[in-house]
Amino acid sequence: MAELQRLRPDHAPALLAFEQENRAFFAASVPDRGDAYFTDFAAHLAARLAEQAAGLCHFHVLVDTDSEILGRFNLVDVAGGSAELGFRVAEKAARRGLATATVLHLCTLAATEYGLTALRAAATLDNTASRTVLTRTGFVPTGEEILLNDRPGLGYVRSTTGKV
């Protein structure tokens, strides 16, 4: 059984392994993090944890019973009662409903733990899996066409209060 956990410093080795093992899989559907992310991973993680401590972001990892990370689920750019949702799931954990279930859980946490009333998200047009997760979890397209690292995408929004 997988558990959603708030990102902590002791997740570092498993998180780095997750990112390295899935880099090519992720790059097929989301913008690549680039070599510097892996070279400077410790500094990058320290910066993310500082942002989290300041309340600017809420980072989470989906961890299985063996402490292996199966996914990342983040709420970033927290301001004015809203945040941007981002997520990625390991290739070996994909197509099992974990992303949908975890995004739904995170939407609840966003409202109950973080006091957020709205979430935004974006997905590239060729990322059918993420767009499916977003629509299954109540996100609706905003009509906004965006570019994610020069790849066309769509913006989405979801209320955490049940009101549109």
Query: Domain tally for the chain?
Result: 1
Write down the mean pLDDT value for the chain.
92
Q: By percentage, how much of the chain surpasses pLDDT 90?
A: 71
| CA 139 to chain CA mean position, Å | 14
CATH code of residue 90: 3.40.630.30
Q: Does residue 47 register a pLDDT over 90?
A: yes
CA 43/CA 62 separation, integer angstroms: 22
In a domain, 68, yes or no: yes
Q: Does residue 31 register a pLDDT over 50?
A: yes
pLDDT for res 159: 95
Q: How far is CA 75 from CA 22, 28, 116, 117, 163, in A?
A: 21, 22, 10, 12, 20
- Among 4-13, 60-69, 145-154, the least confident range: 145-154
| CA 65 to chain CA mean position, Å | 20
In a domain, 164, yes or no: no
pLDDT tens for 97-142 read 999 999 999 999 999 999 999 999 999 898 899 999 999 999 999 9
Domain that includes residue 55, residue range = 3-159
Under 8 Å CB-to-CB from 80, ≥6 apart: which residues? none
In a domain, 60, yes or no: yes
**DSSP E strands: which ranges in 56-112?**
58-63, 69-79, 82-89
pLDDT for res 162: 64
Q: How far is CA 68 from CA 7, 18, 90, in A?
A: 13, 8, 10
pLDDT for res 149: 77
Identify the band that residue 89 occupies on the pLDDT scale cut at 50, 70 and 90.
very high
Identify the band that residue 164 occupies on the pLDDT scale cut at 50, 70 and 90.
very low
In a domain, 39, yes or no: yes
Residue-level length of the chain: 164
In a domain, 73, yes or no: yes
Determine which helix (DSSP H) or strand (DSSP E) holds 157, and give its type and residue range.
strand 151-159
In a domain, 75, yes or no: yes
Mean pLDDT, range 7-25, rounded to an integer: 93
pLDDT for res 29: 75
Under 8 Å CB-to-CB from 3, ≥6 apart: which residues? 62, 63
Task: Please check whether residue 158 is in contact with residue 107, taking contact to mean a CB–CB distance below 8 angstroms.
Answer: yes
